[in-house]
């Protein structure tokens, strides 16, 4: 019956080819043990497997994640305090090293294993329900993430504006205006209308950047 349904039992066969490196059985087994090791939990009661359940495609069995102080169950009967998020699936994560398992945490370098530029972390869960400066500042930060994903170098506003002026000159003014409003908002100087206009400008930017070809232009450091 499985054969008729298309299951061959060889789904893992090309994994080394896709990774571009051999798999060390000892490290793979260590990973399996650590996945369910509670020593990394805040109260020695949580594991990677708590939110990334193998029975759920290494994703969350809950609509909203249950982390520390759980009842040591993995699956539908898991109980405990809920977080302000849902754990994403970790299946096939090694094949996409630049995609973070948790969208709240990012590596400016574009590689989660490269800390040369440090890491960006959100405020602790429960300390705030919304971004400290609202969606406009968050949009400004996300624009940098989108540009990095598109292959642009991680840089400050001036360099980003210069890059946009080359590939997307028609939306450069959108970026300048929106960024200026984002800066004024952090100082408490932006009005509600300013914030509304900023989101319109950022929307134009995102539509232009996300709609460009998948292969980014090559950048040569000067």
Domain count for the chain: 2
User: What residues have CB less than 8 Å from 1, skipping those under 6 apart?
Assistant: none
pLDDT at res. 162: 82
Residue found by looking up tokens 């100087």 in the block: 189
Percentage of residues in the chain having pLDDT higher than 90: 3
31 alpha carbon, distance to own chain's centre:
22
Residues 205 and 143 in one domain: yes
Residues 142 and 203 in one domain: yes
| 3 falls within a domain | no
In the predicted structure, residue 215 carries a pLDDT above the cut 50: no
In the predicted structure, residue 173 carries a pLDDT above the cut 70: yes
Which tens digits make up the pLDDT trace of 48-59? 888 888 888 888
| 180 falls within a domain | yes
| 6 falls within a domain | no
Continuous segment of H or E residues that includes residue 135: helix 134-149
Over residues 168-197, mean pLDDT = 83
| 9 falls within a domain | no
Select from 60, 91, 122 the last residue of a domain. Answer: 91
Residues 151 and 205 in one domain: yes
Select from 35, 57, 91 the last residue of a domain. Answer: 91
Over residues 84-94, mean pLDDT = 73
φ, ψ dihedrals at 120, nearest 5°: -110, 120
| 145/140 Cα distance (integer angstroms) | 9
3-state secondary structure of 106: strand
| 202 falls within a domain | yes
Which tens digits make up the pLDDT trace of 30-49? 988 988 888 877 778 888 88
End-to-end distance of the chain based on CA atoms, in angstroms? Answer: 61
Over residues 171-194, mean pLDDT = 83
| 107 falls within a domain | no
Q: Choose among 62, 112, 53: nearest CA to 85.
A: 62
| 110 falls within a domain | no
Lowest mean pLDDT among 9-18, 118-127, 168-177, 195-204: 118-127
Which tens digits make up the pLDDT trace of 119-158? 766 655 554 444 555 677 777 777 777 777 767 765 677 7
| 162 falls within a domain | yes
In the predicted structure, residue 197 carries a pLDDT above the cut 50: yes
Q: pTM to 2 decimals?
A: 0.42
pLDDT confidence bin for 213, thresholds 50/70/90: very low
- For 28, the token pair is 């793979």
Domain that holds residue 183: 134-210
| 16/101 Cα distance (integer angstroms) | 21
């Amino acid at each position: 019956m499985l054969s008729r349904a298309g299951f061959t039992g060889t789904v893992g066969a090309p994994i080394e080819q896709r990774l571009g490196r051999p798999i060390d059985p000892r490290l793979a087994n260590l990973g399996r043990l650590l996945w369910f090791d509670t020593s990394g939990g805040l109260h020695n009661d949580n594991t990677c497997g708590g939110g990334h359940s193998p029975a759920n495609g290494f994703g969350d069995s809950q609509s909203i994640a249950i982390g520390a102080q759980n009842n040591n169950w993995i699956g539908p009967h898991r109980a405990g305090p809920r977080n302000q998020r849902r754990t994403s699936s970790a299946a096939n994560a090694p094949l996409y090293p630049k995609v973070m398992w948790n969208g709240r945490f990012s590596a400016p370098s574009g590689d989660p294993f490269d800390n040369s530029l440090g890491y960006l972390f959100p405020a602790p869960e429960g300390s705030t329900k919304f971004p400290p400066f609202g969606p406009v500042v968050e949009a400004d930060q996300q624009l940098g993430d989108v540009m990095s994903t598109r292959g642009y170098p991680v840089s400050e506003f001036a360099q980003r504006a210069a890059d946009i002026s080359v590939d997307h000159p028609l939306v450069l003014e959108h970026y300048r205006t929106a960024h200026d409003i984002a800066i004024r908002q952090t100082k408490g100087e932006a009005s509600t209308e300013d914030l509304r206009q900023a989101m319109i400008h950022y929307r134009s930017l995102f539509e232009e950047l996300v709609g460009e070809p998948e292969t980014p232009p090559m950048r040569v450091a000067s």
